[in-house]
Amino acid sequence: MKPALFRGARRGPALALLLALWSPLAPSFAHELAAHRLTLVVHAERSVQAQWHLDWADVLRDLSAPDEAPASFLFRVASEPASALEAPLARLRALVESQWQLHTPEGEALRIVRWQWPSASELHQALQQQAAQQALGEHVHGAQGPVVRAEAQAPAPVRQLRMSLPAALERALVVSYRPQQRWVEAGAPQTLSFVP
């Protein structure tokens, strides 16, 4: 359940006052600990599925208000209408979709398609929840909230890929794997291997 502060439609002035008083006292965010995470999974030999878990507050602040303190930025955008996130989200989307690249070892670029981005409203709700957790003194991991998804098709079975990260994301923890799948029937235990 959301704290009373974030329920209802009349939160703007009261929230802004609370945040203005609280944000100078808030512990600073650990920029180095905030992490974007990317999971790449290869299916059916040639299909690469991607899931980006972004530290939304961090990346949006870097794009739109880099001189503003992280806590102050989070509480400000949480108190603004969701529509205020539309322009920075569109800018981030354009940067990531144009700069994130996957290449085969031979240098052939994979076409990344089927992008799925959260709406400004979904993102705003996640940032409000993160602000509420911060206001209550709860530990908040940076990369939480809506996930960005995309897919790519490789021209040949994927064994290796080269990746270029968008500059706007600075750095990301990348997990890549090809899952091993098999049916297991009840009453017929099987050994599962985690080493290729």
* 159 domain-assigned: yes
Average pLDDT taken over every residue of the chain? 83
**pLDDT score, position 4:** 39
Which tens digits make up the pLDDT trace of 162-183? 999 999 999 999 999 998 888 8
Domain count of the fold of the chain? 1
**pLDDT score, position 142:** 57
* 6 domain-assigned: no
Q: Which residues pair with 163 in a beta bridge?
A: 102
* 112 domain-assigned: yes
User: What's the CA gap between 131 and 116, in Å, rounded?
Assistant: 24
**pLDDT score, position 182:** 83
CB 48 within 8 A of CB 110: yes
Angle at 25 between CA 23 and CA 124, to 5 degrees: 25
The DSSP-derived string for 17-37 is HHHHHHGGGSPPP-TTT--EE
* 62 domain-assigned: yes
Which tens digits make up the pLDDT trace of 113-172? 999 999 999 999 999 999 998 888 876 655 578 999 999 999 999 999 999 999 999 999
User: What's the CA gap between 11 and 14, in Å, rounded?
Assistant: 6
Average of pLDDT values for 37-54? 95
* 23 domain-assigned: no
**Amino acid letter for position 6:** F
95 Cα distance to chain centroid? 14
Range of the domain at 157: 33-177
Cβ contacts of residue 56 below 8 Å, gap of 6+? 123, 126, 127, 130, 145, 146
What is the token pair recorded at 28? 């600073």
* 48 domain-assigned: yes
Percent of the residues in the chain that have a pLDDT greater than 70, as a whole number: 79
Residue 83 has pLDDT above 50, yes or no: yes
User: What's the CA gap between 125 and 6, in Å, rounded?
Assistant: 10
Cβ contacts of residue 3 below 8 Å, gap of 6+? 132, 135, 136
The pTM of the whole model exceeds 0.85: no
* 5 domain-assigned: no
**pLDDT score, position 194:** 80
Residue 32 has pLDDT above 70, yes or no: no
CB 170 within 8 A of CB 35: no
Q: Which residues pair with 19 in a beta bridge?
A: none
Q: Is 112 helix (H, G, I), strand (E, B) or coil?
A: strand
